[in-house]
Amino acid sequence: MGRGARSPRRRRRGRHDGHRGQRLRPAEGPHRGVPRRGVRRLARPQDPARDRRGRRRRRDGRQHRHVRRADRQDRRRQGLGRAGRVGRPGAYRRDGRGRPLTEVPWSSDLSTQLAQQRRDRSDEADRLLRQLFMETTGSSESGGLALVAIGGYGRRELSPFSDLDVVLLHDPAVSPVRVEEVANGIWYPLWERRVALDHAVRSTPQMRARADDDYRAAMGMLDARSVAGDEDLVTALRADVLRAWRRRARERVAEVRAARAARIGRAGWLAHDAMPDLKESGGGLRDSVTLRALLATWLVDLPRKDAERLRARLLDVRDTVHEAAGRRTDKLIPELVPELAERWSLAPTDFDVGVRDVGRRIAHLAAVTWHRLDESLERDRHRRVGRRGPRIETEAPGVGVLDREVVITRDADPRTDPEVMLRFAATAARRRLPMNAAAVQRLVQDLGELPEPWPETTRRWFVELLSAGRGAVEVWEELDLAGLIDRLLPEWSGIRLRGSSSPVHRFTIDRHSLEACVQADALSRDVARPDLLAVAALLHDIGKGRRGDHSEVGAVLVRNILRRWGFPDDEVDVVSRLVRWHLLLPTVATGRDIEDPLTAANVAEIVRSSSFLDLLAALTACDAMATSDQAWSGWRRGLVLGLVEKVRSVLAGTDDERPGYEGWPPDRPMPELSGVTEQTVRVATENHHDGSLVTIVSGDRPGLLADLAGALSTAGLSIRSARIVTEANVAVTLWEVSRPDLDAQVLQQRVRRVLDGAVDLAARLTAVEDHPRVGVLDAMEQTATLIEVRALDRRGLMWTVARTITDAGHLIRSAHTSTYGDEARDVFYVVDADGAPLAPATASGLCDAITAALTAGPSARRGD
């Protein structure tokens, strides 16, 4: 039976809605529910491929029989169909087949196998529960008692380590003694078999009351399935819960929406988080179950086949994650990705991108569904209707707002005016309104080519889109999903949904770049050219995923991109340099001695102007804040801002030259050194940023810095930097550590025990298996040799390196550490006995010695 207009006298078949079987509601039609309002004497269709009743003929000449087709709205009217052909469609041409931007060749054989295994696990669990139920009750259909599978088990979607969600349902007339006897006869044998069980015992009124009180319980009961016992009891309960769900849908959707927002706030997004949760993250399995529940309200419709296909893909991935991890987990752990990709016969990157793309599409379906739901709940409340129909609020040429959606007006022609896409997107981002789905589809099909280079107005609208704050993220991602971003920036495909190799990144590279744009909008008043800052924030990581240093590769790409976008040559040069040096400030601030005047002088030679320094400092902050809280901690922020001020002084010519600098910060007074002997140990602490500064005064001796590093490490402190100054056999060391509120007396006692030889540091600070990288940094005009150590972060790392440098007869002027996840990058300023930098051959030999010390076992380090 077709979906076109039909006479109300014509009998309509009951059709299913996928939740309660057949004949639950009449078929949907244009005049449904309005008696005696059939449309008579309709004009016959002009399409020669259709008959007089509008039905398309089959190629073999027979007619289609649309019997019991699932009710749904026209997907093209929903704006959820595949993208059509680019260009103008013919009179009777159907939409062309679209192709996903990140298409991954998933193995259909493996998917079929995994789906069958899920059903087999559910069937096996059913058989076990039926057997226990029959053994306990003496009948497989005991009246008033039933075992009910809910949730994933109810949907027959058991993964290898899934729990069995089972409820023993009973009629209130059944005696409590009988209910307890049956429950014990079922639960105890399951526990003895070590079955992961999430169980409950409830009467039908209790189940209804719980569904009324807790929407989560109600959603779980929507998938309830009778396993054993009284099926009528389960059918009646499910019908009551479903009826109540639909009756209270308008108030329940607010609870569901708030809970979803809180969940995503905790778990992030499957498409963009560094370590997403396949179940809890936005776009994950929890979202797909929520879509099923929203569909059951009858308030909204969605392309169910697409949603179920995407959900099945995530279930397949979760099954393989369980198998690879050997335990229950929904986290897509990066370490498991190579093994998972091999199971799917995919490259690790393709597998990771493929999973994220599934999450992105589910999230998009969820966003569209929530928007359609809002429309159905608030229809006509905000519409302004004039004499000639709904009134559109004009926002820009060819762009307006209608029904709280941004639309493209009828007089606009994307074929001849492709700039309308940027006006459309910028308006939606600025107003924080959704883009009309039909308008997006119109752009997909009809958008012409933008001229190259872009006109100034096009650039201005593009920058306005990037400068729209949080609204730009949502708009950009929807355009990207539709394939329109590649029309503006083909290079975006290289970072789309790509995970970062850095453990401190919380987002994929593409989402990180968009988050940097959000931060750039917040810092727009701190720079003279916020437009260049916004563009640099978008493109600063565009070189990732390609061979070579991503900063150098990105700088070259950016020159080509900005010339295509019509930027003047001087602005192209500024943005390219920003991309090239966007890691300069954090690298120098955390890995160099910023108190050394030469450090600021070297940076000043690169930045060359205060205006560029302002842009670079703002881009550094945007990049770090978009990375993670760890990347822009109080300590890192303080170091970067301190370096920026020193470089600004150099550029202004107001810096104080200190050629005799020996490692002590000039803004800190030296502690009192009178009365210090060889046995003296004085410790003072003060809070600094999010950690502490520890000053230790003691008698100088060989290996002192290494022993003090060992003492702080055994105290459980993570060392960020260390400086040492010696004067008349007295050593003053300044340590920056990660923990605030230290007890100076307790720390002094621990340091004294180490210096007295009462602690075996080699035994306490055991080695780990590692393959460190040790090298000499190529620095300009440094007064010391800079040795960089890249190794696994662990307690005693600095002690091992410092001890090796001391044993080689060299001196450490200062040390600076940075930690990225479990990776440490430490830089040591090393001089010889005369205070001069090491000769190249000597430095190379020292690097080899440090590498050997870091790879040696504990016994070798103790000299046994």
Residue 383: pLDDT over 60: no
Q: Which of 302, 169, 273 is nearest to 226 (CA)?
A: 169
CA dist., res. 728 & res. 441, Å (int): 79
- Give the separation between CA 628 and CA 483, rounded to whole angstroms: 29
Distances (CA, A) of 649 to 294, 621, 654, 715: 61, 20, 5, 39
Where does residue 728 rank: exposed (0-12), middle (13-18), buried (19+ CB within 10 A)? Answer: exposed
Per-residue pLDDT of 333-372, as tens digits, reads 888 999 999 999 999 999 999 999 999 999 999 998 988 8
* Average pLDDT along the chain: 83
pLDDT at 25 over 50: no
User: Quick one: average pLDDT of 232-257?
Assistant: 91
Quick check: 297 and 249 in contact, CB under 8 A?
Answer: yes
Q: Crossing angle for the helix pair 569-580 and 610-627, nearest 10 degrees? A: 50
Instruction: Let me know: does 274 contact 499? Beta carbons within 8 Å.
Output: yes
Q: Which helix (H) or strand (E) holds 245?
A: helix 231-247
Judge whether residue 33 has pLDDT over 60: no
With a pLDDT cut of 90, the percent of the chain lying above it is 52
| Residue, of 117 and 703, whose pLDDT is higher | 117
Burial of residue 638 (number of CB atoms within 10 Å: 0-12, 13-18, 19+): middle
Given a cut of 80, whether residue 232 has pLDDT beyond it is yes
List the alpha helices (DSSP H) in 248-303. 249-267, 285-295
Per the DSSP assignment, residues forming a β-bridge with 604 are none
List the beta bridge partners of residue 145. Answer: 170
Question: pLDDT (tens digit, 9 = 90+) per residue, 496-515?
Answer: 999 887 778 899 999 999 99
Residue 284's contacts (CB-CB under 8 Å, 6 or more residues apart) are 267, 270, 276, 277, 278, 314, 330, 359, 362
Q: Determine the average pLDDT of the residues in 782-807.
A: 87
pLDDT for the residue 657? 53
Give the model's pLDDT for residue 661: 53
The strands making up 225-229's β-sheet, listed across from edge to edge, are 197-203, 164-170, 145-149, 225-229
What is the percent of the chain with per-residue pLDDT over 70, rounded to a whole number? 83
Residue whose entry in the numeric block shows the structure tokens 């209130």:
172
User: What span, in angstroms and rounded, lies between the C-alpha atoms of 112 and 438?
Assistant: 35
| Strands of 773-776's sheet in order across | 681-688, 691-699, 730-737, 719-727, 811-820, 823-831, 785-792, 773-776
What is the pairing mode between strands 785-792 and 730-737?
unpaired
pLDDT band, very low/low/confident/very high, at 19 (cuts 50, 70, 90): very low
Phi and psi angles of residue 228, each rounded to the nearest 5 degrees, phi first = -155, 155
Instruction: Tell me what pLDDT residue 185 has.
Output: 93
What pLDDT is attached to residue 237?
A: 93
* Six token digits for residue 619: 């881009």
pLDDT at 13 > cutoff 80: no
- pLDDT value, residue 303: 84
DSSP 8-state assignment for residue 388: T
Which pLDDT score, from 0 to 100, does residue 102 have? Answer: 59
**Of the segments 102-106, 533-537, 671-675, which one has the largest average pLDDT value?**
533-537
List Cα–Cα distances, 348 to 103, 334, 344, 363, 847, in angstroms: 14, 10, 10, 23, 34
User: What are the structural domain ranges in the chain?
Assistant: 1-71, 108-247, 264-377, 380-488, 490-656, 681-862
Angle in degrees, CA 458, 462, 466, rounded to 5: 170
**3-state secondary structure string across 131-158:** HHHHHHHCCCCCCCEEEEECHHHHCCCC
Amino acid at 716: G
What's the confidence (pLDDT) of residue 258? 93
pLDDT at res. 388: 59
pLDDT range class, residue 472, cuts 50, 70, 90:
very high
* Strand (E) or helix (H) holding 445: helix 437-446
Q: How confident is the model at residue 769 (pLDDT cuts 50, 70, 90)?
A: low
Give this prediction's pTM: 0.76
* CB of 765 closer than 8 Å to CB of 799: yes
Average pLDDT for residues 317-341, to the nearest whole number?
93
* Number of CB atoms found within 10 A of residue 34's CB: 10
CB-based contacts of 774, cutoff 8 Å, min separation 6: 787, 788, 789, 790, 847, 848, 850, 851, 854
In order of 37, 76, 190, 482, 485, the CA distances from 490 in angstroms are 52, 27, 56, 14, 7
- Name the one residue in this structure whose structure tokens are 């057997």: 131
Compute how many other C-beta atoms are within 10 angstroms of the C-beta atom of residue 850: 24
Mean pLDDT of 199-210: 93
| Contact predicate 252/215, CB 8 Å | yes
The amino acid that residue 110 corresponds to is L
**CA 234 – CA 227 distance, rounded (Å):** 9
β-pair partners for 702? none
Q: Which fold has domain 108-247?
A: Beta Polymerase; domain 2 (3.30.460)
Instruction: To the nearest 10°, report the CA torsion of 762, 766, 771, 773.
Output: -50
> Could you give the CA distance from residue 847 to residue 772 in angstroms, rounded to a whole number?
11
Q: What is the pLDDT of residues 40-51, one digit of tens each?
A: 443 444 444 555
More confident residue, 26 or 398: 398
pLDDT classification of 475: cutoffs 50, 70, 90 = very high
Q: Per-residue pLDDT averaged across 28-48, rounded?
A: 43
- C-alpha dihedral (367, 369, 371, 375), degrees to nearest 10: 180
Q: Are 179 and 201 in contact (CB under 8 A)?
A: yes
Q: Is residue 90 over pLDDT 60?
A: no
The mean per-residue pLDDT over the stretch 73-80 comes to: 39
Query: What pLDDT is stored for residue 53 in this prediction?
Result: 52
pLDDT at 50: 53
- Residue 661 burial (C-beta neighbours within 10 Å; 0-12, 13-18, 19+): middle
Q: Are strands 25-26 and 811-820 parallel, antiparallel or unpaired?
A: unpaired
347: tokens are 């490259």
* Pairwise pLDDT comparison (716 vs 311), residue with the higher score: 311
What is the structure's pLDDT at 428?
A: 96
Query: Would you say domain 681-862 falls under CATH 3.30.70.260?
Result: yes
* Whole-angstrom distance, CA of residue 49 vs CA of residue 141: 54
Q: Which CATH class is domain 490-656?
A: mainly alpha
Q: How many CB atoms lie within 10 A of CB 696?
A: 26
Question: Which residue has better confidence, 804 or 4?
Answer: 804
First-to-last CA distance in the chain?
88
Q: What is the rounded distance in angstroms from the CA atom of residue 512 to the CA atom of residue 227? A: 47
Is residue 276 within 8 Å of 359, Cβ to Cβ?
Answer: yes
Instruction: Assess whether pLDDT exceeds 70 at residue 765.
Output: yes
Tell me: the pLDDT tens digits for 148-203?
999 899 999 999 999 999 999 999 999 999 999 999 999 999 999 999 999 999 99
